[in-house]
Structure 1
Amino acid sequence: MRPIQCARHRFLPAVIQHAVWLYPRFTLSYRDVENLLAERGLDVSYETIRRWVGKFGLAIARNLRRRRCEPSSRWHPDEMVVRINGGRMCLWRAVDDEGEVLEVLTQR
């Protein structure tokens, strides 16, 4: 991933990118991200992480989308029956030959 431009920030760009990536990737709260970084010896407040997400989140998301691989030309549908809230549903997935899930659909 291309490093983000973060001049005049106390932390390295890699730390900022990692904190901003953790927040939406694992649906963590800002305080959870703060605790994960503290386990690695980084003293960053949840408010700082919130500012980073607001400032750099969109740029990092664009970089990640640009890096995403294109699906291969060979794919197959995968069907399974699942129970959701006590009802039977059909779960359809389109999977390419490398195992990447392209689309998911749930029907009654």
Structure 2
Amino acid sequence: GVSYRDLEEIMEERGVEVDHATLNRWVIRYSPAIAVKAKSQKRETNRAWHMDETYIKVKGQWTYLYRAVDSHSDTLDFMLSGRRDEEAATAFVKQTINNNGFPDKVVMDKSGANYAGLANINLLLILAGFTTLIDILQVK
């Protein structure tokens, strides 16, 4: 990645004198507004999702990459987790729903953890009085 000191040098090469600490303050101050603007311009996602996880190495450590895409293969969300279990899958589904709204259906492999995570969300929907649940389709 690019550090604040790297950015300081890059800007200095272009005739702009700014301290790396100032760059950090700008990021802290303006990134929430940029995130809101970016989220407002995010296009509508398809209501049919595909969810999967894979085991990858990040900085020398094996970790699980959870990923959700819509039917157009656009990435909806992702999450890194040290575990592949019901708790991690539930957290990922909640995160994805918070960022993209509720899906009509989710297609996944035969992963028991992912199924349990979505079943937990459906249980929460039932307890909250919703009559429409997320359709869970397992393939492979």
Under a length normalisation based on structure 2, what TM-score does the superposition of the two structures give?
0.40
Under a length normalisation based on structure 1, what TM-score does the superposition of the two structures give?
0.48
